[in-house]
Amino acid sequence: MIAEHSLVVLDADPPHENLTRGDVGTVVHVYKGGKGYEVEFVDGGGHTVALVTVGSDDVRPIKAGELLHTRKTA
């Protein structure tokens, strides 16, 4: 199970038009013992781009050695 406040990587087709597979977000709520998560995705200015509910198979913890990058949102 992924804990609240953990960084996660979107590892499925995006559930929101402003998201792309590989985007990094923060878990803000854990549902039903880890069966689902509420994840917030923010831009570099700290503004929320998307707040989505995803299943446990849709995200994974970010791993040491993975490099973050930026892109423009719509």
The encoded tokens of residue 48 equal: 């929320």
Q: What is the pTM of this model?
A: 0.93
Confidence at residue 58, expressed as pLDDT on a 0 to 100 scale: 97
Confidence at residue 73, expressed as pLDDT on a 0 to 100 scale: 83
Confidence at residue 30, expressed as pLDDT on a 0 to 100 scale: 98
Confidence at residue 15, expressed as pLDDT on a 0 to 100 scale: 87
Classify each residue of 48-67 as buried b or exposed e, where b means 16 or more C-beta atoms within 10 Å of its C-beta.
Answer: ebbebebebebbeeeeeeee
Rounded to whole angstroms, how far apart are CA atoms 41 and 32? 21
CATH 2.30.30 matches 7-61: yes
The residues of the chain scoring below 70 in pLDDT are 74
Confidence at residue 61, expressed as pLDDT on a 0 to 100 scale: 98
Confidence at residue 29, expressed as pLDDT on a 0 to 100 scale: 98
DSSP 8-class letter at 37: E
Residues 6+ apart with CB under 8 A from 33: 1
